[in-house]
Amino acid sequence: MMNFVMNAAQMLLLVLAAPLLRGVISKLKARIQKRRGASVWRPYADLWKLLHKEDFVPNTASAVFRAAPVIVFAVTVAAAAFLPLLHPAAFLAMDGDIFLFVYLLAIARFSISLGSLDGGSAFGGMGSSREALVATLAEAPFFLVLTALAILAKTASLSGIAAWTIHQDFFDVSTVHILAFVALAIVAVAETGRVPVDNPTTHLELTMIHEAMVLEYSGPSLALIEWSQAIKLHLMAALMIGLFAPWGMSETAGLGAVAVAIGLYLVKLLCLVVGLCVVESSVAKLRMYVVPDFLRVASALALLAVIFTAITKR
Amino acid sequence: MGLIELAAVKVLSSAAVLLFSTVLLMATAKRITTCVYLLAVQAVILTLEVVAAGYMEHVPEVYIIAGMVLLAKVIGIPYALLWLMKKLHTPHDVGASLSPGYSVFVMSGLIVLSFVAVRLYLQELHATEVMLAAAVALILSGAFLMVTRSKALMQVLGLMVLENGIFLAALVTTFGMPLIVEIGIVFDLLMGLLLMGIFVFRIRDTFDHLDVSRLRRLRG
């Protein structure tokens, strides 16, 4: 019973705290750039505002346009159920859920691309073609990283990998883990549309990817898309923490252990966020034609990680 | 006491990983200065490795070698390269003839290749597989950097990486060469750097650029 409550709680935490994570990131970025920045609760207010607005739909749009935000949201929340957060077992866990996780996110991208094509504006089509390019190039390294870790842990479930890693020695630096971490960091940046690949704060550039796709959406639909984008960012962060630094997760269901687990999770998340903010404030966005090269680096590293699982026997 | 020993063991076991990451980063680097800093980091790892090996094997004269490596490779050579860059007023890009993405792919291939190559000789040489592979990988990637980067300074840098590899190979196969040989090698390296520095200046003065891929015609 206690386990079930905890599992449900960690999934809810993933979904409900996602806008707050976004708020913290933009606040921290503003601080680094010597601005005041909006309140960290601002994303919630934005969602509230959007949910109470009218939903405009272009004349040319069909049911696909209306369905896309709902599908994106549902699929992203479903993916959240597979991530271990506070203890090394997820709400839903089964052997092979690494594949499910990757392709749930792929479904989300697919439907948002379709929706933006259906909107009928030139920008939407441009955005979705770019998104498709980034997605195809990011999928292979993403998959290879998870495969490498699955080979090491001898289980193809995210919770299983976390449970295996937690019993390893922290100081045993394994080549596979370093390579996989760097590759996953690059993939996460591409997947969530952060700075070197895409600029999340722009509505004005010709080079935007995600923002170009959601240009036609408004009201509750936009709210769902924005929220699922925030969840996705939180998902990738939680994935990196769960796979590479699960130490501190509570293996028993006591209250004290859970409190420690939550505290440590927040600390780890904060470390990732600070890293992200520093990178975003100090690195310029890549040209669109350099993005494949950036992702190729991730592919090479991920491939090397997989090969290393065979070379270094541990 | 126990802690120092633990640290030494960890350095020995994880140094290879860090060396791999430095060469992979060099493959992605777009500026010569980045590569120079990475070279310095590589030398720091080598120094730690030498100290750790000396501690584990209880060979006091290894510390002298570590000091020389620190002086020559961590401080001397990177400083000299940065000074050269400043004096030459040359553009900072490495002049890559292979894009960073493909370079990393080739570099990964070279690392895997070095593992395969090392495995054949593992019985005869009593060395740990990963370290020996790291040494071979450093040699190969140094050569790779020399071939695919067209700036003359990058050729110097590739040679330094290659030399680091040879140094590491000597370290892991013999657990420290005789001191006199080591002094000779370091001195050799410094002379080499000096000569190449003069060469780079001459190339710049004669051709007004440092791009080796454009050195096609003889000029008096």
Q: What is the mean pLDDT of residues A143-170?
A: 89
pLDDT-derived band at B72, boundaries 50, 70, 90: confident
More confident call, B121 vs A56: A56
Q: Would you list which residues of chain B are within 8 Å, Cβ to Cβ, of chain A? A: 10, 13-14, 16-17, 20-21, 24, 28, 99-102, 104-105, 107-108, 111-112, 115, 130
Contact list, B20 vs chain A (CB under 8 Å)? 175
CB contact under 8 A, A296 and B101: yes
Closest Cα to residue B106, out of B68, B51, B145, B57? Answer: B145
Q: How far apart are CA A16 and CA A41, in angstroms?
A: 12
Q: What is the DSSP string of A267-287?
A: HHHHHHHHHHHHHHHHSPPPP
pLDDT at site A77:
94
Closest Cα to residue B73, out of B38, B32, B34, B107? Answer: B38
Q: What is the mean pLDDT of residues A204-233?
A: 88
Q: Is the pTM of this model over 0.90?
A: no
Q: How far apart are CA B122 and CA A250, in angstroms?
A: 43
Contact list, A170 vs chain B (CB under 8 Å)? none
Q: Would you list which residues of chain A are within 8 Å, Cβ to Cβ, of chain B? A: 171-175, 178, 182, 292-297, 299-301, 303-304, 307, 311-312
Contact list, A311 vs chain B (CB under 8 Å)? 112, 115
Which stretch of A16-30, B40-54, B83-97 has the lowest confidence by average pLDDT? Answer: B83-97
| CB distance A127 to A286 below 8 Å | no
pLDDT at site A183:
92
Residue B32 forms part of a structural domain: yes
Residue B176 forms part of a structural domain: yes
The label of the residue with tokens 């600390």 reads: A267
pLDDT tens digits, residue range B165-187?
A: 988 888 887 765 677 777 788 88
Q: Å from B106 to nearest chain A CA?
A: 9
A296 to chain B: nearest residue by CA? B101
| Option in A171, A173, A300 nearest B108 (CB) | A300
Q: How far apart are CA B50 and CA B60, in angstroms?
A: 11
Helix (H, G, I), strand (E, B) or coil at A94: coil
CB contact under 8 A, A178 and B17: yes
Q: What is the DSSP string of chain B?
A: -HHHHHHHHHHHHHHHHHHHHHHHHHHH--BHHHHHHHHHHHHHHHHHHHHHHHHHHT-THHHHHHHHHIIIIIIIHHHHHHHHHHHHT--SB--BSS-HHHHHHHHHHHHHHHHHHHHHTTTTS-S-HHHHHHHHHHHHHHHHHHHHB-BHHHHHHHHHHHHHHHHHHHHHHHSS--HHHHHHHHHHHHHHHHHHHHHHHHHHHHHSS-BGGG--S---
- Whether ipTM tops 0.85, in short, is no
Contact list, A312 vs chain B (CB under 8 Å)? 130
Residue B172 forms part of a structural domain: yes
CB contact under 8 A, B24 and A301: yes
CB contact under 8 A, A304 and B108: yes
Average pLDDT, chain B: 83
B111 to chain A: nearest residue by CA? A304
Q: What is the number of domains present in chain B? A: 1
CB contact under 8 A, A293 and B105: no
Residue B219 forms part of a structural domain: no
Closest Cα to residue B103, out of A300, A132, A238? Answer: A300
pLDDT at site A230:
94
Contact list, B99 vs chain A (CB under 8 Å)? 293, 296
Region class of A120: left (phi > 0), else alpha (psi between -120 and 50), else beta? left
Contact list, A172 vs chain B (CB under 8 Å)? 13
% of chain A beyond a pLDDT of 90:
48
Decide if pLDDT at A209 tops 80.
yes
Q: Å from A145 to nearest chain B CA?
A: 15
pLDDT tens digits, residue range B5-64?
A: 877 777 777 788 888 888 988 888 888 898 999 999 999 999 988 888 888 877 777 888
Residue B218 forms part of a structural domain: no
What are the structure tokens assigned to B144, written together? 């790779």
Contact list, A297 vs chain B (CB under 8 Å)? 28, 100-101, 104
| Option in B16, B101, B130 nearest A297 (CB) | B101
Residues forming beta bridges with residue B31, ordered by sequence position? B93
Q: What is the mean pLDDT of residues A82-91?
A: 85
Contact list, A174 vs chain B (CB under 8 Å)? 17
A311 to chain B: nearest residue by CA? B115
Residue B216 forms part of a structural domain: no
Decide if pLDDT at A171 tops 80.
no
Domain extent for B174: 2-90+98-208
Residue B213 forms part of a structural domain: no
Domain boundaries, chain A: 2-311
Interface test mutation site (partner A, options B23, B105, B144, max chain A beta carbons within 10 A): B105
Q: Å from A293 to nearest chain B CA?
A: 5
What are the structure tokens assigned to B29, written together? 């680097």
pLDDT tens digits, residue range A25-51?
A: 999 999 998 999 889 999 999 999 999
What b/e readout covers A119-135, taking b as 16+ CB neighbours within 10 angstroms?
Answer: beeebbbbbbebbeebb
Contact list, B136 vs chain A (CB under 8 Å)? none
Q: Å from B23 to nearest chain A CA?
A: 12
